[in-house]
Amino acid sequence: MFAFLKALKRSDAKPFLARIAAGDMILIDLREENELAATGSAQGALHLPLGRLAQAADPANRARHKALSVERPVALYCASGARSAQGVMTLRRLGYTEVHNLGGLSHWQAAGGAVTR
């Protein structure tokens, strides 16, 4: 329970904008395809719905997404921050050491992050 409460804590996206733009941190959009179609996506975000995250990020999975590595910092967002909190817990269980919950797409935009449609 305490792990979820810690994962639920939202990080301000502003300090991460430059790291994401430089490719030093990967940004993952955990929303479903229909949500992206309705609102757009954070510029440069990798789209991995929450239901596919564990398989795509598992270091033991030979078919994992090649952009993901336990050594690479990750920032997650969804619509409100709840799914990204679940994503934080998933990645930490898989051994990822630096994982941040940025909340929802609106938090990304409020921090000055660009959205593409």
- Per residue in 33-51, is it b (16+ CB within 10 Å) or e — as a string? eebbeeebbbeebbebbbe
Tens digit of pLDDT for each residue in 61-103? 999 999 999 999 999 999 999 999 999 999 999 999 999 999 9
Across 7-11, 27-31, 52-56, 83-87, least confident range: 7-11
